[in-house]
Amino acid sequence: MKLKNMLMTAVLALVGTAFIETSASAQSASTGDLILGFRINDSTTPGNTTNLEVDLGAYTNYTNLEGTGTVEQLNVGAGNYVGVNGAGGLSVTDLQNAFGNGTSNPLWNTRSDLIWGVAGSRGSPSNETFLTSTSTLFDNTTLGVAVPVTALYNGFGNVTLTGNSTTAGTIATSTAGGWTYQVTNNGGNAAGNDFATGLNLEQGVSSTGTETLNLYDLTKHPSTTAATLVGTFNLASNGTFTFDATPAAVPEPSAYALGICAMLLFLVLKRRSAIKA
């Protein structure tokens, strides 16, 4: 009987430990993860108090796909990079609960004030940062962009899990480290917004189509910021959320032909000049 009780105690301890670890991991985000954030634009709807955030997993999952043309679905029950056994990712139910279900209030995808974006950073010492944007230009020469982005990881520890996803939770807009707090005022500093870039890093939602944001890899240099296109995040009106690692555009054959002709003409003219000389 004593041995049986000891075995039972050991089993319960292991189960309890596993539960604690699972809960803890679900509420934490690691440096280098990409964070998807939804918020109500404060300029149009003052007083909104809730953000929805989703940990999309490590940036390497996305940079490793760069240029392959692979499309990954990042919803609950789908995709390889969000949660365990498809339990993580964006849930349409979460969007409805946080921003409108169409019954007691307008449906989330009809709101003109609902915006979203994705951000992540490797942190110090590289300060390599990943941001979505509708722009291709990142004119910021400081290392400060990484600071408000990395604060998202600590802030993610304060989310309240939705119960529909192991990697999604809600957080008060006033919470330091939360999406709204970091993106709108550079982490509480008056120096700038949009994670100190001054660019439009977020996009609205659509009730009929798909809204798109490009994901850029900002590699810091002493005098400039080089932005490399990693791929595209796409949010459909039904809540389907995908990452598209579209290959870089290839010039049309006619462009190749013109380039070759121009080179040949240059070589011919150069040779004639040499002969005359």
Total-model pTM = 0.79
Please tell me the least confidently modeled range out of 20-24, 35-39, 143-147, 216-220.
Answer: 20-24
Whether the predicted pLDDT of 147 surpasses 50? yes
Is the pLDDT at 175 greater than 70? The verdict is yes
What pLDDT does residue 192 have?
52
What residue spans define the domains of the chain? 31-268
> Average pLDDT for residues 20-36, to the nearest whole number?
67
pLDDT at 214: 93
What mean pLDDT comes out for the span 124-138?
81
Residue 68 confidence class, pLDDT cut points 50, 70, 90: very high
Q: State how far the Cα of 71 lies from the Cα of 34, in Å rounded to an integer.
A: 17
Residue 271 is predicted with a pLDDT of 58
For 9-18, 36-45, 79-88, 116-125, which range has the lowest pLDDT when averaged over its residues?
A: 9-18
Q: Confidence band (pLDDT; 50, 70, 90) for 21?
A: very low
For 216, phi then psi, to 5°, come to -115, 145
SS (H, E, C) the chain: CHHHHHHHHHHHHHHHHHHHHHHHHHCCCCCCEEEEEEEECCCCCCCCCEEEEEEEEECHHHHCCCCCCCEEECECCCCCCCCCCCCCCECHHHHHHHHCCCCCCCCHHHCCCEEEEEEEECCCCCCCEEEEECCCCCCCCCCCCHHHHHHHHHHHHHCEECCCCCCEEEEECCCCCCHHHHHHHCCCCCCCCCCCCCCCCCEECCCCCEEEEEEEEEEECCCCEEEEEEEEEEEECCCCEEEECCCCCCCCHHHHHHHHHHHHHHHHHHHHHHHHC
pLDDT tens, 32-53? Answer: 999 999 999 866 666 688 999 9
- Predicted local distance difference test score (pLDDT) of residue 28: 75
Let me know: does 243 contact 229? Beta carbons within 8 Å.
no
Return the pLDDT at 274.
57
Q: How confident is the model at residue 227 (pLDDT cuts 50, 70, 90)?
A: confident
* 246 pLDDT more than 70: yes
CB atoms closer than 10 angstroms to residue 157: 13
Give the number of other CB atoms < 10 A from CB of residue 209: 11
Tens of pLDDT, residue by residue over 71-83, are 999 999 988 788 7
What are the beta bridge partners of residue 132?
215
